[in-house]
Amino acid sequence: MVTAVRSSLRDLFVEEARGVEMAAALSNLPLSHLNDRIARGELIGACPACGGKDRLGVNPGKPAWVCRGSDGGRDAIGLAAHVLGLDVSRSGDFLEACAAVLGRPVPGDTEENDAERRDREARIAERKRQNEEAAAKRDREANDFRAAEQSRARGKWLHAKLDGLHVTYLARRLDCYAHELPVAPLLRTSPAETYWYGKDDRDPRSVPVELFTRPAMVAPFVAPSGHVIGCHLTWIDLDRRPKFRPVILDAKGEPLPSKKMRGTKKGGMIPLIGFYELDGLILPDPHRPRFVAGEGIENTLAIALAEGPRADTIYAAAGDLGNLAGPADAKRRFAHPTLKKADKNGVMRPVWIASSTPKLDQTLDDALQAPAGVTDILLLADGDSEVHATASAMARARTRLGAGGARVDVLWPPRGYDFADLLALSSLGQ
């Protein structure tokens, strides 16, 4: 009887944890440092489990969280498990994650009478109903927000200039003359793009703060259907070598990224070379059997420049490593061979790395997809990222994109460099 009661109490405990909003759970997790870097409602900073400077991103409003050492998720329990180094496939760890979210311990053994049992069962049923209603509301709001963001991102790209400073930026970044630069017709320039960051506590509207306005390269994110679903922004500073991007600091002197993405990225790609426009769609050339894809625009164009570019090749960028690699099988994650991180109790726990095995039953929206008809794929790795996590991600990308029968190879630059860096070094005779 006690066992049954305990099980039922834990069912209620779990349902209560599932009903906790991500924003409400943050105060119970070791994430107070994220408040130092707020951009567009997203909290960014070091991950308590994986380390780094900006590996973890949490957006309580969506809600969603993502980390380079995990697939991320949309609930507070998963976030708690990740930052505390817990494995939710184990019942004990799952309950511990629920306890962290609720800020109270897991219920233990107890006796109850019939009235207490009926009351508890009614509370479980009511909590489940509330959770289902809240989840449906979040889904509706997320869909509305996504559609609005995609529309804004599409408009930002459509209104950018076809000829602009992005050509000069890319020529300098790749250390070539503008006329030598591979033609990437879908890249554009926004002459005056505002960089928004954080919020002004003195303003009751909680509107973002304008840090500066300057030119930016604008690239579209395109879904497999050909629709523009997002855009990628790269702010430009031609006086700032070697990257030719501005150094951006927040009020506390912490560096901020000079690149941002708007709209939807997952499942899309940035079309560079080998695409055509038809009836408002951007589509890959079906006569090109080879596909080259990297994380960033500059590295992918560096390879295109080194290759010619090749007339049989479609060149595209994923935007980031997660979109290139795709989600991993969470059950096959592994510990970093050397890195460990102290949890909230000071216990040293391993830093987990996402598995090299792709997650089963993926959809087209989960990651970049190779164009139909491609038989040869070359993936471009970054040599200036953490080597174990990057190697696992590239192996996952190779397996995922090769599942349809295409040959897939991975090209690595020397450790500590990217391909755009190599072009600059080669011009100096290094």
Q: What is the mean pLDDT of residues 131-139?
A: 77
Q: What is the pLDDT of residue 235?
A: 98
Q: Identity (one letter) of the amino acid at 231?
A: C
Which two three-digit tokens encode residue 154? Answer: 């599409």
Backbone angles phi, psi at 228, to 5 degrees: -80, 120
What is the residue whose two structure tokens read 């006329």? 179
pLDDT band at residue 429 using 50, 70 and 90 as cut-offs: very low
Least confident of 26-30, 140-144, 246-250, 392-396: 26-30
Higher pLDDT, 327 or 207: 327
Higher pLDDT, 12 or 313: 313
Q: What is the mean pLDDT of residues 306-311?
A: 94
Which two three-digit tokens encode residue 108? Answer: 């233990």
Residue 49 reports pLDDT greater than 90: no
Q: What is the mean pLDDT of residues 123-144?
A: 77
Q: What is the pLDDT of residue 426?
A: 60
Q: What is the pLDDT of residue 226?
A: 98
Residue 155 reports pLDDT greater than 50: yes
Which two three-digit tokens encode residue 219? Answer: 């690239």
Residue 300 reports pLDDT greater than 90: yes
184 near 272, Cβ under 8 Å? yes
What percentage of the chain exceeds 70 in pLDDT?
89
Q: In what order do the strands lie in the sheet with 270-273?
A: 270-273, 313-317, 290-294, 376-380, 407-411
Q: What is the mean pLDDT of residues 5-15?
A: 75
Q: Is 419 left (phi over 0), alpha (psi -120 to 50) or beta?
A: alpha
Structural domain boundaries in the chain:
2-131, 160-327+362-427
Which two three-digit tokens encode residue 69? Answer: 């050492």
Higher pLDDT, 268 or 108: 268
Q: What is the pLDDT of residue 428?
A: 45
Which two three-digit tokens encode residue 361? Answer: 């039953």
Q: What are the b/e assignments for 201-234, b being 16+ CB within 10 Å? A: eeeeeeebeebeebbbbbbbbbbbebbbbbbbbb
> Burial level of 100, CB count in 10 A (0-12/13-18/19+)?
buried
Higher pLDDT, 47 or 40: 47
User: Degrees (nearest 5) of the Cα angle 217, 221, 226?
Assistant: 135
> Burial level of 128, CB count in 10 A (0-12/13-18/19+)?
middle
Sequence-distant (6+) residues with CB within 8 A of 263 are 146, 149, 150, 152, 153, 154, 221, 229, 230, 231
268 near 284, Cβ under 8 Å? no
Q: What is the pLDDT of residue 117?
A: 65
Judged by DSSP in three states, 39 sits in strand
Higher pLDDT, 101 or 370: 370
Q: What is the pLDDT of residue 430?
A: 45
Q: What is the pLDDT of residue 25?
A: 84
Q: What is the mean pLDDT of residues 181-190?
A: 96
Q: What is the pLDDT of residue 2?
A: 43
Q: What is the pLDDT of residue 173?
A: 94
